[in-house]
Amino acid sequence: MALIRPFKGIIYNQSHIKDLGSVITPPYDIIDSAQQNLLYRSSPYNIIRLEYGISSPDDTENENRYSRAAAILQQWLNQGILEPDDHHNYYLYEQSFTYNKIQYKRRGIITTLKLEPYSAGIVLPHELTMAGPKTDRLALLKATHTNISPIFTLFPDPDKRMHGFFAIADHMDPSIEAVEVSGQTHRIWPITDSVLQDQFTAYLATQPLLIADGHHRYETALNHAQSSPRSNLPGAGFILAVMVSINDPGLLMLPTHRLLHSLDAAQQILLRNIISEHFTVIELGDPAKAVEEDFLAKLEQISREKCGFGCILSDRLGLLVPEAASANEDLPVSLLHDLLLKPLLASGKNTKDMLSFSHDFATTLDAVKTGKADAAFILDTLPVGDLFKRTRQGMIMPQKSTYFYPKLPSGLVLYNSDLSF
């Protein structure tokens, strides 16, 4: 199954960087221009300069944010701002965060993972990808030879051994601790002991892996490893990964709701016709009178029993049950896209701007009530075990079908294919 290897992580030198919380960032795909500028100002050594540098109107094919990232990386290595670890390690990682006033701790292992094609059945995708992000990540990988942020993977852990692996962390101070302004805390314990490393390696070798987040980075790294003239180098066939047990109590997956904008009159009519033709509607009254807890409780039942999902229009709130759905064969998000969104959006132009996403029911409901959205579709959270089961059956979900909260940060541990092995 999965082949993992200890490695010399590239880490910030804490004699130079006292506040690690000021130099790490969210991954590139959730950073907008305002946050990008804010991160630039937070520290001259913030990893944003590598992960998602600012473009310039004067950029050329050879001088651009990717070439600047490579130059800055080398400069920081020369200055000792970043440095390779002394030993080949695995790293125990704990991410503490709060959601809806509940405190969570999500734990995993930071490692390097051998890149394998999906067809091998070792590393499994669960979402479709887009070409744009892969082009961007490939340019950065070619320039820096470095994974600046890890992919996030899950494994079944049927023996629940991750808890035992972390016993060592309960008796040691972390070597890295970063506290973000948001309150998120990140702690890392390097594991240098060869016996423990062998135990990690052997156990993970028995596990299939699911990509929870990082499909674009994985596919980019795989294609690069297979086609690059550097593909014969020892570290070229691996990627930086965090591996988390699906039994981890801090594993939190949020639903991703769909909102539709700027529907013309014909699409408004088509939407209601599609609903009438393909769905049984359970009416729940006026959206203005919706009670979130009641609605979500009904949604959970209808989602898991009949593959249903919620629907909010300006004048009605309800649950849609696909007439041809089978709970053993389909997923609500896939049925939503196949039966409703694809035919609806295919009828118009500039559809890229017509669909947006939200993880919060109240915000989504308010968008329709205030006219910021024409319609919204509410999805229940898919149990992680079901997600893994469906993925192993070969089911691929639409983009943005899952959202594991929070994202893994960039900058705690880097993997450089030239220096880390």
Taking only the tens place, the pLDDT of each residue in 138-149 is: 999 999 999 999
Q: What is the pLDDT of residue 347?
A: 75
In which residue are the tokens 């014969």 written? 232
Contacts of 5 (CB under 8 A, 6+ apart): 88, 111, 112, 114, 201, 238, 421
CATH number of 256-380: 3.30.1760
Would you say residue 326 has pLDDT above 60?
A: no
- Domain ranges in the chain? 4-252+405-416, 256-380
Question: Could you give the CA distance from residue 237 to residue 222 in angstroms, rounded to a whole number?
Answer: 7
Predicted pLDDT at 388: 86
pLDDT of residue 131: 77
Residue 327, pLDDT > 50, answer no
Residues in a beta bridge with 154: 210, 244
Amino acid making up residue 388: F
Q: Residues 21-73: pLDDT tens digits?
A: 999 999 888 899 999 999 999 999 999 999 999 999 999 999 999 999 999 99
CA atoms within 13 A on the CB side of 162: 25
| Cβ-contact 250, 406 below 8 angstroms | no
> In the structure encoding, which two tokens stand for residue 168, read together?
């060592």
**Secondary structure percentages of the chain, helix, strand, coil, to 5:** 35, 25, 40
**Main-chain dihedrals φ then ψ at residue 399, nearest 5 degrees:** -60, 145
pLDDT at 50: 97
Mean pLDDT of 92-99: 97
Helix (H, G, I), strand (E, B) or coil at 128: coil
Answer for the pair 14, 126: CB distance below 8 angstroms, yes or no: no
Which tokens in the block code for residue 161?
A: 């051994």
pLDDT at residue 349, rounded to an integer: 64
What are the E-state strand segments in 237-384?
Answer: 238-245, 252-254, 257-260, 279-283, 309-313, 316-322, 355-358, 375-378
Query: Count of alpha carbons within 13 Å of 256, Cβ hemisphere only?
Result: 18
Q: 186-241, pLDDT tens digit by residue? A: 999 999 999 999 999 999 999 999 999 999 999 999 988 888 766 667 777 999 99
Query: Which pLDDT score is estimated for 351?
Result: 64
Q: Are 186 and 11 in contact (CB under 8 A)?
A: no
Give the closest residue to 402 by CA, choosing from 191, 190, 177, 252.
252
What H or E segment, with its residue span, contains residue 155?
A: strand 151-155
Class of residue 233 by CB neighbours under 10 A (exposed 0-12, middle 13-18, buried 19+): middle
**What's the angle, vertex CA 115, arms to CA 25 and CA 167, rounded to 5?**
65
The helix (run of H) or strand (run of E) holding residue 124 is strand 123-124
Closest to 3 in 3D by CA, of 239, 247, 244? 239
Output the DSSP codes for 347-364.
TSS-GGGTEEEES-HHHH
Q: 38 φ, ψ to 5°?
A: -65, -40
Q: Is the pLDDT of residue 328 over 80?
A: no
Q: Mapping DSSP to helix (H, G, I), strand (E, B) and coil, where does residue 324 land?
A: coil
Mean pLDDT of 251-268: 94
* 92 closest CA partner among 229, 180, 196, 15: 196
108: part of which helix (H) or strand (E)? strand 102-114
Task: State how far the Cα of 248 lies from the Cα of 241, in Å rounded to an integer.
Answer: 17
Instruction: Categorise residue 67: left if φ over 0, alpha if ψ from -120 to 50, beta otherwise.
Output: alpha
Dig out the tokens for 138 from the structure.
Answer: 């490939």
**In what helix (H) or strand (E) does residue 306 lie, and over which residues does it extend?**
helix 292-306
Confidence of residue 325 (pLDDT cuts 50, 70, 90): low
pTM of the shown model: 0.91
pLDDT at 231: 63
Three-state secondary structure call for residue 212: strand
